[in-house]
Amino acid sequence: MESFDVILVGGGLQSGLCALAALHRRSGLRAAIVERDGRLGGNHTWCFHGGDVEPEDQAWLEPLVVRCWPSYDVAFPGFRRTLDVPYSAVTAERLDEVVGRAVRESSGGAVFCGASATRVAAGEVELADGRRLRAPVVLDARGPEPGDPGGCGFQKFVGLELRLAGPCGLERPLVMDATVPQRDGFRFFYALPFAPDRVLLEDTYFSDRPELDRAALRAGILAASEARGWSVSEVLREEEGVLPMPWRRPAVSVEPPYAGGYRGGWFHPATGYSFPIAVRVARRLADALPGGPGTAAWARWRSEHERQAGFGRLLNRMLFAGIAPDERWRVFARFHRLPEPTIRRFYALRSDWADRVRIVLGSRPHALPTPRMLYRWLTA
Ligand SMILES: Cc1cc2nc3c(=O)[nH]c(=O)nc-3n(C[C@H](O)[C@H](O)[C@H](O)COP(=O)(O)OP(=O)(O)OC[C@H]3O[C@@H](n4cnc5c(N)ncnc54)[C@H](O)[C@@H]3O)c2cc1C
């Protein structure tokens, strides 16, 4: 049996950040990552807003960032805005490289790729090949549990990273382009210009249904590129997601093994983003090592998170149960007219009471809700 100070189960975003934070803040720590696939990180591009992470976390996050833009745009019918908020991108490829190297080069650390965890318990993890690993602290970050998240809308998208024959003309990310035809709920395009001729273009829906028609979305993205005057010379890669936007509180245990990342409900219910929250969990866990936080501290962190997440769930309930699908874009247009600090704190899941009032008042449905909508809103 191999022994470590901490075992991070599931080699995705949460475990990767925990490993980096732990090695940065606690040198000499023996960390193990267990990942079912052949490499860490899966197939994602993760982005976060400036203001999502504390200055003290910038240093250990910096090697992960493949590109940081000083500002980003949003566009709605009749309204376009540039937000002077930095926007950074991290790729799964970079996470694999940086986290893998940091853990392997640390003394006593290990990365187990192609290793499925079959039993995750407090103090012990068993792998499919029968190996057993032991550590006083085990974090279970194997991604969302399959099954019905219960009371939920969905953020779903397909993205294509495109090589273009000429420059795309975007200087900064277009994080929400809702000038596209609205269907299947609130719909927008998302464009990340990694280089003048390389752009990630995503077709995103805040929908009542989780189903994703990949072929249709793929074809639609290529058609939209052409319509923007972009001549696509190559599709470099593809990614997709169906993220829950719940309006009920998840039932998550606070007992060890600690549930991290999406599995532990550590995400922003109203945006689907988990990066800022995963950073906070990573820093707190790192500070609590090697002994571990203990159930009481973990429960306290969870209730702090739930106080903010509860507001996000209320917004989901209002959006999905209270506003007709083809009217939903107006909520986001109004939201993006709010003062920049309110928007920044919202994405960081740190809204104060004044922000909440502003957001809710700015999110009133354009038309008065029908009695049926009101009933669904109150009883969902
Ligand atoms: C395509 C995509 C893009 C996203 N973009 C953003 C974004 O821009 N910003 C943002 O904040 N959020 C984003 N999200 C949401 C969220 O941040 C991600 O889903 C994030 O990866 C969740 O982190 P996690 O560590 O909980 O799970 P994951 O990153 O999914 O990691 C879980 C890992 O566990 C592994 N695993 C599962 N079962 C086992 C097992 N039995 N044994 C061993 N390993 C196992 C999986 O293979 C996986 O690698 C995105 C989500 C998707 C799907």
State pLDDT tens for residues 249-301. 988 999 999 999 999 999 999 999 999 999 999 999 999 999 999 999 999 99
**Model pLDDT, residue 184:** 96
52 lines ligand 1 (CB under 6 A): no
How far apart CA 143 and CA 154 sit, in angstroms, is 16
For residue 157, the ligand 1 atom closest to its alpha carbon is 1
Q: Which tens digits make up the pLDDT trace of 101-121?
A: 999 999 999 999 999 999 999
Helix axes 294-322, 371-379, angle to 10 degrees: 170
Q: What is the mean pLDDT of the chain?
A: 94
CA-nearest residue, atom 38 of ligand 1: 142
Instruction: Kindly indicate the confidence band of residue 48, based on its pLDDT and cuts at 50, 70 and 90.
Output: very high
Instruction: Tell the residue nearest (CA) to atom 45 of ligand 1.
Output: 10
Where does residue 162 fall: left (phi above 0), alpha (psi -120 to 50 degrees), or beta otherwise? Answer: beta
Q: Give the residue, out of 8, 35, 39, with the most ligand 1 atoms within 8 A of its beta carbon, to mutate for a pocket test.
A: 35
Element (H, E) at 340: helix 340-347
Predicted confidence band of residue 367 (pLDDT cuts 50, 70, 90): very low
Q: Which of 33, 27, 25 has its CA nearest to residue 4?
A: 33
* Ligand 1 near 93 CB (within 6 A): no
Return the pLDDT at 366. Answer: 47
Looking at residue 86, the DSSP 8-state letter turns out to be -
Q: Is the CB of 264 under 6 A from ligand 1?
A: no
Note the pLDDT of residue 376. 52
Please state whether beta strands 72-76 and 174-177 pair in parallel, antiparallel, or not at all (unpaired).
parallel
pLDDT of amino acid 1: 84
Contact 250, 170 (CB under 8 A): no
Give pTM, 2 decimals.
0.94
Of all protein residues, the one whose alpha carbon is nearest to atom 12 of ligand 1 is 273
Integer-rounded Cα Rg, in Å, for the chain is 21
Q: Hey, which of 44, 158, 266 would you mutate to test ligand 1's pocket, going by the most ligand atoms within 8 Å of its Cβ?
A: 44
CB of 116 shorter than 6 A to ligand 1: yes
Buried b vs exposed e over 80-105: b needs ≥16 C-beta within 10 Å?
eeebebbbbbbbbbbbbbbbbebbee
* Cβ atoms of 66 and 39 closer than 8 Å: no
Ligand 1: distance of its center to the CA of 266 in Å? 12
Q: At what angle do helices 275-288 and 13-25 cross, to 10 degrees?
A: 40
Q: What is the pLDDT of residue 371?
A: 56
Closest CA to 80 of 178, 167, 226, 191: 178
- Measured in Å, residue 313 CA sits from the centre of ligand 1 at 20
Percent helix, strand, coil in the chain, to 5, is 35, 30, 35
Residues pairing with 90 in the sheet? 46, 65
Residue 337 binned pLDDT confidence (cut-offs 50, 70, 90)? very high
What pLDDT digit, counting tens, does each position of 202-237 carry?
A: 999 999 999 999 999 999 999 999 999 999 999 999
Q: Which atom of ligand 1 is nearest to the CA of 239?
A: 1
Tokens of 6: 């901490």
What pLDDT, on a 0 to 100 scale, did the predictor assign at position 380? 43
Q: What is the pLDDT of residue 150?
A: 61
Residue (of 104, 48, 112) closest to 275 by Cα position: 48
Confidence class of residue 372 from pLDDT cuts 50, 70 and 90?
low
Q: Which atom of ligand 1 is nearest to the CA of 44?
A: 1
Distance CA 111, CA 148 (A): 31
**How far, in whole angstroms, is CA 81 from its chain's centroid?**
23
CA of residue 141 to ligand 1 center, whole Å = 9
144 lines ligand 1 (CB under 6 A): no
Ligand 1, atom 37, residue with closest C-alpha? 142
Look at phi and psi of residue 229 and say left if phi exceeds 0, alpha if psi is from -120 to 50, else beta. Answer: left
| Tokens, residue 290 | 């090697």
Identify the pLDDT of residue 363. 54
Domains of the chain from N-terminus onward: 2-67+86-147+247-305 (3.50.50.60), 152-246 (3.30.70), 310-379 (no CATH)
- What is the per-residue pLDDT for 146? 73
From residue 143, give the alpha-carbon distance in Å to each of 206, 255, 260, 360.
Answer: 20, 18, 8, 30
Region class of 62: left (phi > 0), else alpha (psi between -120 and 50), else beta? alpha
